[in-house]
Structure 1
Amino acid sequence: MRRSLTAIALFACCGTFLAGQRTAGVDFSRTMRVDYFHTGGAGGEAVRLDAVLAEGAWPDSRTHLIDATNLGKYFFEVIDRASERVLYSRGFASIYGEWETIPEFRTTTRTFHESLRFPWPNGPVRVVLKKRDRQNRFEPLWTTEIDPRMAAAVPIPPTAGPALLFENGPAHRKVDLLLISEGYSIEQAAKFRADAARLVEALFALEPFRSRRADFNVRTLAVRGAQLSVQFNVFGLERYALTYDNRALRNLAASAPYDIVEVLMNESKYGGGGIFNQQSTVAASNESAEYVFIHELAHNLAGLGDEYVGTVTYATGAPIKVEPWEPNVTALHDPSSLKWRDLVQPGTPVPTPMTHAGKVGAFEGAGYEARGLYRPEAECIMGSRTVTTFCRVCQRAINRVIDLHTK
């Protein structure tokens, strides 16, 4: 009798699980990737479909399919055509989104390659790409209809074989960090592994990553030579390094389960870059590589904004700032509605003078602007490479995104 009851219980459990899978409207055994071309300039902006591809099992959370973080300059929804129900959504940033803020945008037209990834839909869907308007509201930019039966298998480079640095559980219950080599020869494979291990240990030596180490899986992918064409001097900033070859990046990364991908350059020159939910890079042989790795990963993983002041091509200089979407920078239009107000101790003035350094407040100078933008604390890794800790607001923001991937 006990055996029969167990079988009945198992059947009920499995039936509930399968029903839940059907209700979700997606198949987690595969990942759909939508590649597209993002073109624009002063004359307008356009998006054109490139390809719909099939990758391996969905590596991210199977419960947090709808994004309520309000992060990113862009946002996309996957909508089931039969029921009009949103199956998946996610915010992100892009190279195009940064490029359109620099002077070159007003005089030329450029095209960037981008990708959207989501669990494989069980039926035809409509993908809606949205962009923030001047009031920070998401407005539709592009819509495409997709039939899953038309997707092609993604080409996996035959030399690609990921290796584990450490694993703490199934991919869909962890943040899966993938580190890809760039500019390492076959003979330098050991150097790449050593560089990756060193940078990862630096990351997990500080909070909140130290306390959340068990929520991560970390893999490396050794690739011969410079297959991603990472380049410095992006947007005229010498230290800013990114790859424009999104297709190559995604095809390589598809050989492993990943949520976040960072490229390790075999380079001693100072530099790196990071874009929310897209990519990050670091010159792994530079003496400041540990700092850059952590700083750029925070852009990529949590959408954190830069908290420093400096001359960059995408500083607006505008007297009135739009409220940034980044969780650690504010235009402080209304001090009573400060987005991290709950962390400000009673009696702390807002805006906050430097005499209150060490406390959470609103310190002027952030997002490359000396005036009109404010950061949570006087010092943070997102503001200076001489600082070795994240401020409390940044720590909370990182924890919230880790939860999104793991709970």
Structure 2
Amino acid sequence: MAQKIIFEEYFEEATLRFDYHHAGTDTTEVIYPEEYSKEKYWSGSKKHLISPFDYGKYKVVVKDAKTKTIIYSNGYSTLFMEWQTTPEAKKIRKSYYESVNVPFPKNKIILEINSIDKSQKWTNIYSEEIDPANYFIKNENAFTYKVEEIQVNNSPNKALDILFLPEGYTENEMDKFIADVTRLKSSLFKVKPFNEFKNSINIRAVLAPSKESGTDIPGEGIWKKTALNTNFYTFDSERYLTTKDIKSIKDIAGVSYYDQIYILVNTDKYGGGAIYNFYNLCTSDNEFTEEVFSHEFGHGLAWLADEYYYDDDMSSFYDTTLEPREENITTLVNFDKKWKNKLPKKLEFPTKASPKNLTKIGVYEGGGYTSKGVYRAFQECKMKSNSTKEYCEVCEETIVKVLEYYSE
């Protein structure tokens, strides 16, 4: 039986933030440390210190330096990981700024970062002993922005804390930002299972203005002076909205509690993006904003895969000889771990997409950006298209597990 970790024995109620540079090519990666900071707030669970989820491409692990006992772990993904799948990564080396948070230790720890390779084997790529008494650990607040409490129902350690950051909202547009956040909060609680966990979700917003409205649109020659330096055309995809400016994100978010960062970008252009346990983004004023908002949150909160696919297959994104680690798609290599036990005994295989099967669970081919060899549980789902406002049963159950983890 695993040893129960008592938070108060090992940690203060504060955050140790580790900023680093993640560099490499399509097949190599290395971590270069930048700095450690002590931040005032710790909003993570004090009960669940070892993550029960095998989600994300990376895992931060904290060990007690004296006993080598694992006292904290959490999974996450990064933009660097996605860049590694691009043609550019085969040609040049590149680095991305990244940051992870762990509870602030009382005694010396060993902090590790592990990476899972294409064969799904975990490998340690960084390890360092840290003394919390080290006077080079920064202990200052970069900003003093006001934090607006949109909805606070529970203590931070027993709730999912969502923190909204404004991007491309000027000082005169802060009222619009709060109105936009409030609107998206309302839309979130119209969707299962979030509507069932309303009392276990806290929502705050940081009033951090930008010098100019909007965001960068490189393909149109538009460049704006904004707080978080977001841009469309990530990896040459027009609608993919991200930022590499992790330092600004974490500096601004550090004024509040947060488990999930949601960046709201002040534009009516269609687009968004999300990276598991890293950040979420969507635009404020597009006709599909509410759909994109919750779709991206499926990625950032619960590591759900995209269920759509292209005619021009990205068949190299998932190795069909291995079972995807995301809960909502399968290659059938280890289907027993997925939704196989939910299927009716007599089932067309693969299940044909048709009006009569529209609400029936099955094994529908197409998902994870490819039309062949990857399967999803339902014809339609919020993780597949904007045509439905609901998550499918498999995605919903995955989100429930994550929400329960934060709220217990």
Q: What TM-score, normalized by structure 2, do the two folds share?
A: 0.90
The 10-residue stretch of structure 1 (243-252 or 40-49) with the greater mean CA deviation from structure 2 = 40-49
Q: Distance between the aligned counterparts of 1:117 and 1:318, measured in 2?
A: 29
Q: CA deviation at 1:127?
A: 1.1
> Match of 2:138?
152
Q: What does 1:249-328 align with in structure 2 at a 5 Å threshold?
A: 249-310=249-310, 316=316, 320-328=320-328
Is residue 346 from structure 1 mapped to residue 332 from structure 2 by the alignment?
Answer: no
Q: Distance between the aligned counterparts of 2:392 and 2:116, measured in 1?
A: 27
> Match of 1:375?
376
Equivalent AA in structure 1 for residue 141 of structure 2: P
> Match of 2:123?
139
Q: CA deviation at 1:343?
A: 2.5
Q: Distance between the aligned counterparts of 1:318 and 1:121, measured in 2?
A: 38
> Match of 2:213?
none
Contact preservation (8 Å) 2:63, 2:109: yes
Equivalent AA in structure 1 for residue 175 of structure 2: A
Q: Distance between the aligned counterparts of 1:334 and 1:34, measured in 2?
A: 36
| Partner-residue secondary structure (3-state), 2:269 | coil
Equivalent AA in structure 2 for residue 188 of structure 1: E
Contact preservation (8 Å) 1:33, 1:116: yes
> Match of 1:92?
76
Q: Distance between the aligned counterparts of 1:376 and 1:131, measured in 2?
A: 28
| Partner-residue secondary structure (3-state), 1:148 | coil
Contact preservation (8 Å) 2:56, 2:77: yes
CA-to-aligned-CA distance 1:173-232 (integer Å, 9 cap, x gap): 000001111111111111111111111111110100111111100011121111100110
Q: Distance between the aligned counterparts of 1:397 and 1:21, measured in 2?
A: 26
Q: Select 1:195's aligned residue among 150, 175, 180.
A: 180
| Partner-residue secondary structure (3-state), 2:194 | coil
CA-to-aligned-CA distance 1:34-65 (integer Å, 9 cap, x gap): 11100011473211111111112310110111
Q: Distance between the aligned counterparts of 1:242 and 1:271, measured in 2?
A: 10
Equivalent AA in structure 2 for residue 340 of structure 1: W
Is residue 402 from structure 1 mapped to residue 403 from structure 2 by the alignment?
Answer: yes
Q: What does 1:166-205 align with in structure 2 at a 5 Å threshold?
A: 166-205=151-190
Q: Distance between the aligned counterparts of 1:223 and 1:205, measured in 2?
A: 28
Q: Distance between the aligned counterparts of 1:162 and 1:90, measured in 2?
A: 26
Contact preservation (8 Å) 2:147, 2:255: yes
Q: CA deviation at 1:249?
A: 0.3
> Match of 2:223?
none
Q: CA deviation at 1:137?
A: 2.2
Equivalent AA in structure 1 for residue 115 of structure 2: K
Cα distance 1:188–1:318, how it changes in 2: closer, same or farther (>3 A)?
closer
Q: Distance between the aligned counterparts of 1:186 and 1:101, measured in 2?
A: 38
Equivalent AA in structure 1 for residue 179 of structure 2: A
Q: Distance between the aligned counterparts of 1:168 and 1:229, measured in 2?
A: 32
Q: CA deviation at 1:255?
A: 0.5
Equivalent AA in structure 2 for residue 155 of structure 1: N
Equivalent AA in structure 2 for residue 259 of structure 1: D
Q: CA deviation at 1:314?
A: 6.1
| Partner-residue secondary structure (3-state), 1:294 | helix
Q: Select 1:65's aligned residue among 46, 49, 63.
A: 49
Q: Distance between the aligned counterparts of 2:313 and 2:132, measured in 1?
A: 41
Equivalent AA in structure 1 for residue 367 of structure 2: A
Contact preservation (8 Å) 2:320, 2:374: no
Aligned residues: 385
RMSD: 1.8
Q: What does 1:109-128 align with in structure 2 at a 5 Å threshold?
A: 109-128=93-112
The 10-residue stretch of structure 1 (380-389 or 51-60) with the greater mean CA deviation from structure 2 = 51-60
Equivalent AA in structure 1 for residue 88 of structure 2: E
Identity level (%): 30
Contact preservation (8 Å) 1:102, 1:314: no
Q: Distance between the aligned counterparts of 1:49 and 1:124, measured in 2?
A: 18
Where in structure 2 are there 5+ consecutive unaligned residues?
Answer: 211-225
Cα distance 1:283–1:129, how it changes in 2: closer, same or farther (>3 A)?
same
Larger radius of gyration: 1
Q: Distance between the aligned counterparts of 1:318 and 1:212, measured in 2?
A: 32
Q: Distance between the aligned counterparts of 1:34 and 1:362, measured in 2?
A: 42
CA-to-aligned-CA distance 1:60-82 (integer Å, 9 cap, x gap): 11011101211111112101110
The 10-residue stretch of structure 1 (63-72 or 143-152) with the greater mean CA deviation from structure 2 = 143-152
Q: Distance between the aligned counterparts of 1:183 and 1:46, measured in 2?
A: 33
> Match of 1:15?
none
Q: CA deviation at 1:323?
A: 2.2
More helix by proportion, 1 or 2? Answer: 1
Contact preservation (8 Å) 1:66, 1:90: yes
CA-to-aligned-CA distance 1:226-276 (integer Å, 9 cap, x gap): 110011011111000011000110010011100001111111110110000
Q: Select 2:19's aligned residue among 31, 35, 40.
A: 35
| Partner-residue secondary structure (3-state), 1:212 | helix
Q: CA deviation at 1:339?
A: 1.2
Q: CA deviation at 1:287?
A: 1.2
| Partner-residue secondary structure (3-state), 1:267 | coil
Q: Distance between the aligned counterparts of 2:61 and 2:242, measured in 1?
A: 26
Equivalent AA in structure 2 for residue 214 of structure 1: N
> Match of 1:5?
none
Q: Distance between the aligned counterparts of 1:138 and 1:63, measured in 2?
A: 25
Q: CA deviation at 1:20?
A: 4.2
Q: CA deviation at 1:22?
A: 4.6
Contact preservation (8 Å) 1:344, 1:359: no
Q: CA deviation at 1:109?
A: 1.2
The 10-residue stretch of structure 1 (341-350 or 73-82) with the greater mean CA deviation from structure 2 = 341-350
Equivalent AA in structure 2 for residue 201 of structure 1: S
Equivalent AA in structure 2 for residue 169 of structure 1: N
Where in structure 1 are there 5+ consecutive unaligned residues?
Answer: 1-18
